[in-house]
Amino acid sequence: MKAFESYAARRIFHGLVMYLVMALAYSLVFNGIADKSLRSQVDEDVAQAVRASTGLDAAALTHLEEATRAQKLRQYHLDEPWVQRVLWRTAEVLTFHFGRSTGLSSSSGDREVLAIVAEALPNTLCLFLSEAALVLLLGGVLGVAAARKPHGALDRFSSVLPMVLNGLPAWWVGMLALMLFSYVIPLFPSGGVHVNPTPPGLAGLADYLWHMLLPLITIVALNLWNTAWLIRNLLTDTYAQDFVKVARAKGLSEARVGVHVIAAIRPAVATIALMGLIQSISGNILVEGIFAWPGLGSLYFAAVQQSDVPVLMAILSLQTALNLAGLVVLDLSYGLLDPRIRIGARS
Amino acid sequence: MKRFFKSRAGLAGFVLLAIFVVLALFGPLLVPFPGAARHWHDLSWWQDSPAAVPPSWMNGPWNGYSLPGTELLKAGPPRERTNGDGGRLLSWSFPLAIGRAGPPRDLVLRFAGDGKAFLMASLVHADGSTEEVLRQVQEVAKGQTGRIPLHVQEAASLELTEYLAPGQAEPAAGPSLLLVGKSSGLLGTDVEKRDIWTGVVLGIRWALVLGAVVSFLTVLTGLLLGTIAACYGGFLDSVINRVYEFFSLMPLLPFLIALSVAYHPSLWSFMALALLFFWTRSFKTVYARALQIKEEGHIEAARMMGAGRWWRVTRHVLPALLPYGFAVMALSVPGIILYEASVSLLGLGDSSTITWGQMLHDALVQGAVINRLWWWILPPGLSIALMGLTFALLGRGFDRVLNPRSR
């Protein structure tokens, strides 16, 4: 176990270093735009300070203006060379100091980036965690059904479908679904999380789920097939392995054989589930924008449109952190779930 | 090659690709607006088409032919009268029969320009009563076409009269009346009056160019770097793998945003960035395969016979990986086209060309979903899906040839 611990420590450290590198890269890329918006922020602040002061003569006013400007430039590190500014911004990202947005605000009017993101994050998590759970469940059922009868109708269908769906933009399917089931046939609400006014208590929760249903169905229906296909392949490959033959030869019941097979495929299923979640969040995030589901995806849309760099930095670093954490968890879980993999042990 | 065509997937993919290539090459001959590639964003170029109307095959007995297409009524020879002041009055009659298609209809009165034109128009109703809808002097430069839009509720015909002052010459060409349709073309039009079928066909070339160029170059890069990392090992291996890790985790989007603030986003800058980033998509599979191949018996034998590493890589490992690269290339195309479409949807695409993603961006922004303009949303998305399927099939065809286990 000692070996595993040192491996885990190294793997986590590696992930953190990667995160640092990415934060540095984001700061570098956005340096120009961020500077521009900060400079206009300084102008705004100075103008406000001048407006707020009364009863000053011209000389005092000029002095105040210059003093405020110098103070603000220092506050935003604009008086330093750009290299230092990039490093400062990286440090800010690493310590979750994203500052204030340049245009977007939370529903309560807060311009603090953390507040804006904190408002959007639960909606995204709710949508995509439900999606991942449903995909794993339904994909698992379909995969097992397809594996039971190789080359049957379902098996063939589910082998061709991922190929067709692979090149399909999820957000386009979202547009179609929204048009069809919300505007042509008004079955589902056309966007948002709640009707106005929000019903209290349990009815509010039901209303929330009701609003989530159409985006959820859309992404589940798209991502389900890939998982089904992977699980089907996993099962047929595992059932063809020698240990299954041995188990059957020993006279174990099919149910007992199944238990062994499940133990063998556990790590792979964990990979499928986690990678599915990560890929879905990064690949289907635009679907949120289509359905006006106020999560990170919708925020992404708005931030890109308005070039709101602080918000973009926050979303990107959050996404990166999520990706990296997922990969680390995955690597570590191999060692725990699969006894055949002995991490750190010398062969 | 023979085996490739024997696999149904490969054959189907090849046929689809052939269709796409033919459409891309001969597209301008097959669309009603061949000049659209240059004029897609020039909205005045489209002014005579109807806005946001369904395809013309939607007009049929099931809706009582209530969605007629655009019609151009040419004027016959004018009836001529002499006015009191010695000038002349030329008049034309255009039969309208608007009742059948259902009002209202937009009409555009067009006439060749020759300085000033004094025009009067009145509608003649079925009961014989008339209603004046136009009386104005229109200034149109010589050689230009004058356009006067009219909005008509109900009429049997339209009576147009032009007054020519004494001594004024007749207009160079007679007037014509454009009955703007309620349906248009094979796939209808968008809100900006552009023909969707034309856009879809002209979008093929960019999808193909983008897919082919980016997939070829990125897979080639991935192939070379994967081979180098696998065969040379050591320091080079770990450096390449660190770089891979960075680019595979780093999204392309921040770079596109940063670029689009400073410059007008273009397809070429997208391609350049895609080249920098997308090689990672093929790297890991090539790397794993190269690690296997370099341990194979015949390469070991070559080493025993004194073949240097460079020789082994260029003569044995790379040739063994190359056909494998074809499958990866084909399979990477859908992702590239999809990425371009997503980027366009966010408004970071090249707005000076016609791409399917660009069309869908316009559709989303201009309310195609809310207004149920399905003919605007369906075709570009289906094209993306079909193009993706084409390359997925090709990839599977290659895979069948190269990977005996999956046969």
Q: What pLDDT score does A218 carry? A: 93
B145-152 β-sheet, strand order? B71-74, B176-179, B105-112, B145-152
* Residue A104 forms contact with B (CB below 8 Å): no
Q: What pLDDT score does B376 carry? A: 94
Q: What pLDDT score does B31 carry? A: 87
Cβ contact B347–A304 (<8 Å): yes
Which residue's structure tokens are 């209303």? A207
Which residue's structure tokens are 């859908």? B334
State the nearest Cα–Cα gap between A203 and chain B, in angstroms: 27
pLDDT-derived band at B407 (thresholds 50, 70, 90) equals: very low
Spatial contact of B114 and B171, defined as CB atoms under 8 Å apart:
yes
Report residues of chain A scoring pLDDT below 70.
1, 338-347
CA distances to A2, A193, B308, B314, B315 from B298, in Å: 41, 63, 14, 14, 11
Of A187, A172, A183, A208, the closest CA to residue A290 belongs to A172
Q: What pLDDT score does A347 carry? A: 38
pLDDT-derived band at B149 (thresholds 50, 70, 90) equals: confident
What is the DSSP secondary-structure string of B158-226? EEEEEEE-TTPPPPSS--EEEE--SS-TTT-B-TT--BHHHHHHHHHHHHHHHHHHHHHHHHHHHHHHH
| Interval B326-343: pLDDT, tens | 888 888 899 899 988 988
Report chain B's mean pLDDT, rounded to a whole number: 84
State the ipTM, two decimals. Answer: 0.86
Q: What pLDDT score does B396 carry? A: 85
Q: What pLDDT score does A346 carry? A: 44
* DSSP symbol at B404: G
pLDDT-derived band at B49 (thresholds 50, 70, 90) equals: confident
**Chain B residues touching A164 at Cβ < 8 A:** 385, 389, 392
State the nearest Cα–Cα gap between A287 and chain B, in angstroms: 10
Q: Residue B101 pLDDT > 60, yes or no?
A: no
Query: pTM value?
Result: 0.86
Averaged pLDDT, B248-273: 81
Angle, in degrees to the nearest 10, between helices B280-293 and B267-278: 30
Q: Which residue has the higher pLDDT, B98 or A56?
A: A56
Strand B71-74 vs strand B157-164: parallel, antiparallel, or unpaired?
unpaired
- Give the residue from chain B lying closest to A327, CA to CA: B249
Averaged pLDDT, B59-86: 80
Of A289, A337, A319, the closest CA to residue A169 belongs to A289
Spatial contact of B369 and B345, defined as CB atoms under 8 Å apart:
no
* DSSP symbol at A181: I
Cβ contact A316–B251 (<8 Å): yes
| Interval B154-212: pLDDT, tens | 777 888 888 877 767 665 567 888 888 888 888 989 888 899 999 999 999 999 999 99
* Residue A240 forms contact with B (CB below 8 Å): no
**Chain A residues touching B337 at Cβ < 8 A:** 167
* Residue A94 forms contact with B (CB below 8 Å): no
CB atoms within 10 A of CB B352: 12
Strand B130-140 vs strand B71-74: parallel, antiparallel, or unpaired?
unpaired
State the nearest Cα–Cα gap between B310 and chain A, in angstroms: 31
With a pLDDT cut of 90, the percent of chain B lying above it is 20
Tell me the β-bridge partners of B147.
B110
Spatial contact of B348 and B256, defined as CB atoms under 8 Å apart:
yes
- Give the residue from chain A lying closest to B255, CA to CA: A29
In sequence order, the 6+-apart residues with CB closer than 8 A to the CB of A259 are none
pLDDT-derived band at B100 (thresholds 50, 70, 90) equals: low
Instruction: List for chain B the helix, strand, coil content (%; round to 5).
Output: 55, 15, 30
Cβ contact B360–A18 (<8 Å): no
In sequence order, the 6+-apart residues with CB closer than 8 A to the CB of B101 are B65, B66, B67, B68, B182
Q: What pLDDT score does A177 carry? A: 94
Q: What pLDDT score does B18 carry? A: 95
pLDDT-derived band at B22 (thresholds 50, 70, 90) equals: very high
pLDDT-derived band at B379 (thresholds 50, 70, 90) equals: very high
Spatial contact of B207 and B387, defined as CB atoms under 8 Å apart:
yes
Q: What type of residue is B45?
A: W
Q: How far apart are the first and last CA of chain A?
A: 15
Q: What pLDDT score does A139 carry? A: 93
